[in-house]
Chains A and B, each alone.
Chain A
Amino acid sequence: MSTATLELKNVSKLYRVGKKEVHALNPISFDLLGDPARIITVAGESGSGKTTLASIMLGLLEPTTGQVLYEGKDVSTLSGSQYRDFRKNVQAVFQDPFAVFNPFYQVDHLLEVPIRKFNPGLSKAARRKAMEEALEAVGLQPSEILGRYPHQLSGGQRQRINVARAIVIKPKILVADEPVSMVDASLRANILEALVSLRENHKVNILYITHDLTTAYHVSDSIIVLYRGSVMEAGDITKVVESPQHPYTQLLINSIPWPDLERKWDNQQYANPDIQEISGEGCKFYSRCPNRKPECQQTPNLVPLFPKHLASCRLHPPKADLDAHLTNNL
């Protein structure tokens, strides 16, 4: 199995709404290397730029600055066959299990189009077979699913079809933007299981986007924590979850409602999330940070603190001997 690489170089995004500017994503660089396949979580609260990042990686959104390189080439300048290759190999599973379906078509449409597009040679029967296999792989009964309209299926079924779509295409890189936020606890496990098996069995690199750190902790190998478009902390998932360094990450981890009577929310005084950001220089978390210092008004860099553990916080001095490159720490 050949590998595919997707590289983000100084990618950032600025939205302009009227006169207002929203820095949805501040410059970020990292690559998804093919082997070994991993699951990288991008976490952060609502509006932190997760979906923006995903859309840019998928080539659905033009970055304001920087480039997205697929196999070393800028995706906006790919030639016909390269573009098709990019499309086939970089895929997504989206958050809203209803919105991904075109209400006009039966659910088959979602699976059939990519098969037809990416495997033009297949016969009708072969296509059907591919669809059935994919559905079974996510624990669905093809006969119960095919030929029905999206509104006739439950949210969990729809979400799993969505994952089945990724299986059918067999991409090298999968961006999963909140694939389980809309389903209930018991189904969540099923879907995540399907994602993990994609990595295991098909060597798919997965960017798992979520604000749910519980599941992130369970499925992923490493994590990038975003806050207002900037990376706050990144690294190996167990390291970050078990000993978060950045105050924001600490807050996040502390706020996880673990389904565990042993691990109740502590009484730590958390910063009020209502406080709106002051744009401009400085740490994005400054206004909410319980430990803020005057020097935090200068923008911190993302620096290594431990092996496979980066953070951008002026409270922590960088370890100069460690590699600061984001990719190498994921």
Chain B
Amino acid sequence: MEHLLDITGLTVSYYTDIGRAIALNQVDLRLKQGEKLGLVGESGSGKSTMGLAMMRMIKPPGKVEGGSVVIGGVDMLQLSDKEMLKRRLSTISYIPQGAMNSLNPVLKIKRQMIDAYRAHYPDHKLDQIMDLAHEAMRSVELPEHVLEMHPHELSGGMKQRVCIAIGILLRPQIIIADEPTSALDVVTQRQVIETLNRVQQKIGSALILIGHDMGLMAQSMDKVAVMYAGEIVEINDVQTVFTSPKHPYTQALISSLPRLQNRGEFRGIPGMAPSLYRLPSGCRFHPRCNQQQPQCQTTSPRKSVFEDEKYVTCHLYEAT
């Protein structure tokens, strides 16, 4: 088993009054142990949905319609509810978007850690648990007395790191961090990302960093997956994405980025992201694409896979 994570054909829809929104369409993703993947894309492109689907935490009106999420040979989507409960945090852990409010305001940090631990190892002694909690705190560079504090006594960055500490408490094989820094200022942002990197290295797990800040991806990720309207349009190593992006959307995205060199230049992507309820035919990006081909309007492109599980979904490239 070469890959730690193997997602194939993952499809998720939300059923609402307006209709069915396919928030995740036939998504494939493979990850090796210790790999760091950045998951980027516009708001609403399905990044969080992807993370949640891996956790099996899609709630009504959402529904996982198909596909598999295999971690270490076990398909998460086939497990019983009870077994899945055990896997959360221990096999795969998700540090949610908006960690500011992710800690219960009336419980001490310690208690929230103990709860998480006890849910998986009900018979362990408190001493043992506390040792682990201390270790987790150390690895996110927080003093131990933070354990005795309540969330409101912590700053935003500290809260975010507490969430990370909880997320790694059971040394999961995969950590998903959903926009852990979008509400933080640059200094704190950097601190959090570096903490995440360090911790990931220490426990050797794979890391999926969800976000739309390409800067953060450039700073710390190995690979980048670009999502557009519920699909992964391109996965590539970070180098390629920034220097020679393949997909026209990725290209537009990269060229819209502000850098030191191109001061005063703005190149937004023209047009609007499509509504998931009214997707364009063919390639979902074609209405905004500057390299449109005739078949783009009618047929959905298929994957062109490069080496090492990297691929692009675009008619410009030959399908494999």
Classify A-B as touching or not with yes or no (CB < 8 A): yes
Identify the A interface with B (CB < 8 A).
44-46, 139, 154-157, 183-190, 192-193, 196, 211-215, 217-219, 238, 251-252, 255-261, 263-265, 270, 272-274, 276
Q: What are 20 A-B interface contacts by the 8 Å CB criterion?
A: A154-B43, A154-B273, A185-B212, A185-B213, A188-B268, A189-B268, A189-B269, A193-B266, A193-B268, A217-B258, A218-B264, A255-B189, A257-B189, A257-B216, A257-B218, A259-B215, A259-B242, A259-B254, A259-B259, A265-B194
Q: Tell me the chain B residues, 111-168 only, with Cβ under 8 Å from chain A.
A: 141-142, 155-158
Contact with A along B248-289 (1 / 0, CB 8 A): 000011101111100111111110110000000000000000
Residues of B near A213 (CB, < 8 A) are 186
Please indicate the chain A residues that have their CB under 8 angstroms from the CB of B188 in the complex.
45-46, 273
Docked-complex contact B269 and A261, CB < 8 angstroms:
no
Of chain A, the residue at the smallest CB distance from B161 is A274
Whether the pair B157, A273 counts as a contact (CB closer than 8 A) is yes
Q: How far is the CA of A45 from the CA of B264 in the complex (A)?
A: 23
**Contact across chains for B43 and A156 when beta carbons are under 8 A apart:** yes
Cβ contacts under 8 Å, A156 to chain B: 43, 272
Given contacts A184-B212, A188-B256, 20 further A-B contacts (CB under 8 A): A45-B186, A46-B185, A154-B273, A185-B253, A185-B256, A186-B253, A187-B268, A255-B186, A257-B219, A258-B260, A259-B242, A259-B258, A259-B259, A261-B238, A261-B239, A265-B194, A270-B187, A270-B190, A274-B155, A274-B157
Contact B260 A263 (CB under 8 A): yes
Of chain A, the residue at the smallest CB distance from B44 is A154
Contact with A256, one of B156, B215, B239, B272 (Cβ below 8 angstroms): B215
Interface size class of B (residues with CB under 8 A): 35 or more
A45-B185, A265-B190 given; A274·B256 CB < 8 A: no
The A/B interface has a contact count, at CB < 8 Å, of 133
Assembled-state Cα–Cα distance A122/B257 (Å): 41
Given contacts A46-B184, A257-B186, A260-B259, contact A192 B242 (CB under 8 A): no
Shortest Cβ distance from residue A233 to the other chain B in the assembled complex, whole angstroms: 15
User: B214 within 8 Å of A by Cβ?
Assistant: yes
Report B-chain residues with C-beta under 8 Å of the C-beta of A215. 258
> What residues on A are CB-neighbors of B222 within 8 Å?
none
| Separation of A296 and B252 alpha carbons in the complex (Å) | 47
User: Max chain B CB contacts within 10 Å: which of A211, A217, A257, A261?
Assistant: A257
A217 touches B252 (CB 8 A): no
B33 CB-CB contact with A under 8 Å: no
User: What is the bound-complex CA distance between A211 and B155, given in angstroms?
Assistant: 17
